[in-house]
Amino acid sequence: MFIATTIAVALVALLHLYFLVLEMFLWTRPIGLRTFRMTPEFAEASKSLAANQGLYNGFLAAGLLWGAILGDVAIEQFFLGCVIIAGLFGAATVGRKILWVQAVPALIALGLVIASSPQFAP
């Protein structure tokens, strides 16, 4: 179970590293325009905001990797909780797709972290 948990946390971290790259470096490129359904003009006008979002996604990824490397359940739970809250807020304010891309994978990983923590072990 520990390996599955670590893999799940790492996958959520990798998603957030992808979001970092997409928002910080690919925002005004064709993949960024398609992903976020933006016009080139809007992308150009909002690229500094997107870079800021990307940086925050990088912090989430760093925290998740930190927790996974240490095997620290509390760190993993904290950062997965942050991802879930951000995903729920994004789904409510931007679009439902964020729920499935961000919150649900983190919720699954959090479930695995909780199920594999020592207090729940048989």
Strands (E), 8-65: none
Whether 93 shows a pLDDT value over 80: the answer reads: yes
pLDDT of residue 96: 94
Residue 122 placed within a domain: no
**DSSP one-letter code for 39:** -
To the nearest 10°, report the CA torsion of 106, 112, 117, 120. Answer: 130
Report yes or no: 29 and 56 within 8 Å, Cβ to Cβ: no
Give a yes or no: residue 6 inside a domain.
yes
- The model's pTM: 0.91
Domain for residue 65, yes or no? yes
Please report whether residue 100 resides in a domain: yes
Does the pLDDT value for residue 37 go beyond 60?
yes
Instruction: Say if residue 70's pLDDT is above 90.
Output: yes
Q: Are 76 and 64 in contact (CB under 8 A)?
A: yes
The boundaries of the domain holding residue 72 are 2-117
- Checking if the pLDDT of 58 tops 80, the result is yes
Residue 18 lies in a domain: yes
Average pLDDT, the chain: 95
Structural domain includes residue 78: yes
Does 58 reside within a domain? yes
For residue 48, is it within any domain? Answer: yes
Number of domains the chain contains: 1
pLDDT at 114: 94
